Amino acid sequence: MDNLSLRMNYEEWKKVIDVNLGSTFFLCKYAIKKMLKNKYGRIVNITSVVGHTGNVGQSNYAASKSGITGMSKSLAIEYAKKNITINCVAPGFIQSAMTDNIVESIKLMLTSRIPMSKLGTGEDVSNSVAFLSSDSASYITGETIHVNGGMYMA
């Protein structure tokens, strides 16, 4: 539901916020209840490079994705002592059905802004999620791993 902010109506704003941020909140809430009973848990929320950089016509999307990051940090503080870690992965431009539809000239312009000069893969993202879900990341909480080929460095 991309649109310039002055043209964006309330429904376009609300739908993106509800789908991205609202659903993530309620899924976390449900999962945390189960994890508290198990005295253990790992949550990895998916944000976006756009949540950290912004993008023309995506104020609703950027707000929802940066909201996930802030919410995840707050939840990480709330549940760290309960052996539950909550982190984020923020993909950049990843080869997918969505990026396959981008016009080639735009895709070239986008990749020119990525120091690695290529789009990422789903496997790049899933490897980060797997790491944060593992015991190898047991002392990491409230963090975001940026998977974007160097397009954005925190």
SS (H, E, C) 3-32: CCCCCCCHHHHHHHHHHHHHHHHHHHHHHH
Q: Catalytic: which of 30, 61, 139, 152?
A: 61
- What are the C-alpha distances in Å from 113 to residues 51, 104, 110, 127, 132? 17, 15, 5, 23, 27
Residue 88, beta-bridge partner list: 45, 144
Q: Which run of H or of E encompasses 100?
A: helix 97-100
Q: Which run of H or of E encompasses 88?
A: strand 84-91
Give the β-pairing of 41-46 and 84-91. Answer: parallel
Question: If DSSP codes are grouped into helix, strand and coil, which group holds residue 42?
Answer: strand
The answer to whether 61 is a known catalytic residue is: yes
The residues carrying an active-site annotation are 61
